[in-house]
Amino acid sequence: MTAKILIIDDHDDFRQMVKNHLAAQHLDMEIFEASSGELGIEKALREKVNIILMDIRLPNINGIDAATRIRRHLPECRIVVLTMFETEAFRKVFKSGDITAYIGKSELYDKLVPVIKGILKEINGTNKREVPTS
């Protein structure tokens, strides 16, 4: 199954870097992008994405609120937060189950691919909820 991955971040350069990094892994995936929480919600629902890579700090609707809204409509979607920040509100949402994993942006190259591979195994039914979280 080809996974649909959506990168939601308001920085074009960062989205492109993540997209290039994932493309270099030769995983079976289609990659979409959005520059805001609103556009991310819209694109996630339209494309019925499997995995979302999202920043917390987004204009208007932040990543926490966007994750909650997306999961309401796409409960099987896995959301990975890519962040430089860790807040108490974020920890609450992570514990609620709306967020599958979080990765510090400084750890992106080390941790993103193993997390994505774990999610893909889970989605394909070969691995039950053994996704590394950080």
Domain with 60, as residue range(s), is 3-123
- Higher pLDDT: 131 or 10? It is 10
Which residue's entry shows tokens 């189950």?
A: 97
Asked if residue 69 belongs to a domain, the reply is yes
CATH number of 54's domain? 3.40.50.2300
Q: How many CB atoms lie within 10 A of CB 37?
A: 26
- Higher pLDDT: 114 or 100? It is 114
Asked if residue 133 belongs to a domain, the reply is no
Asked if residue 128 belongs to a domain, the reply is no
* Half-sphere exposure at residue 11, Cβ-oriented, CA atoms within 13 angstroms: 11
Q: Are 59 and 33 in contact (CB under 8 A)?
A: no
pLDDT (average), residues 23-50 = 95
Asked if residue 112 belongs to a domain, the reply is yes
- Higher pLDDT: 104 or 66? It is 66
Tokens linked to 95:
């514990």
Q: Where residue 57 falls among pLDDT bands split at 50, 70, 90? A: confident
Q: For residue range 9-21, what is the model confidence (pLDDT) as tens digits?
A: 999 999 999 999 9
Q: Where residue 125 falls among pLDDT bands split at 50, 70, 90? A: confident
pLDDT (average), residues 46-68 = 92
Asked if residue 132 belongs to a domain, the reply is no
Q: 33 to each of 5, 6, 37, 97, 122, how far by Cα in Å?
A: 8, 5, 11, 23, 23
Q: Are 82 and 6 in contact (CB under 8 A)?
A: no
* Number of domains the chain is built from: 1
Q: For residue range 58-96, what is the model confidence (pLDDT) as tens digits?
A: 988 988 889 989 999 999 999 998 887 655 555 555 565
Tokens linked to 108:
């992106």
Asked if residue 19 belongs to a domain, the reply is yes
Asked if residue 131 belongs to a domain, the reply is no
Q: For the whole model, what pTM was predicted?
A: 0.85
| β partners of residue 97 | none
Query: What does DSSP say about strands 3-8 and 51-54: parallel, antiparallel, or unpaired?
Result: parallel
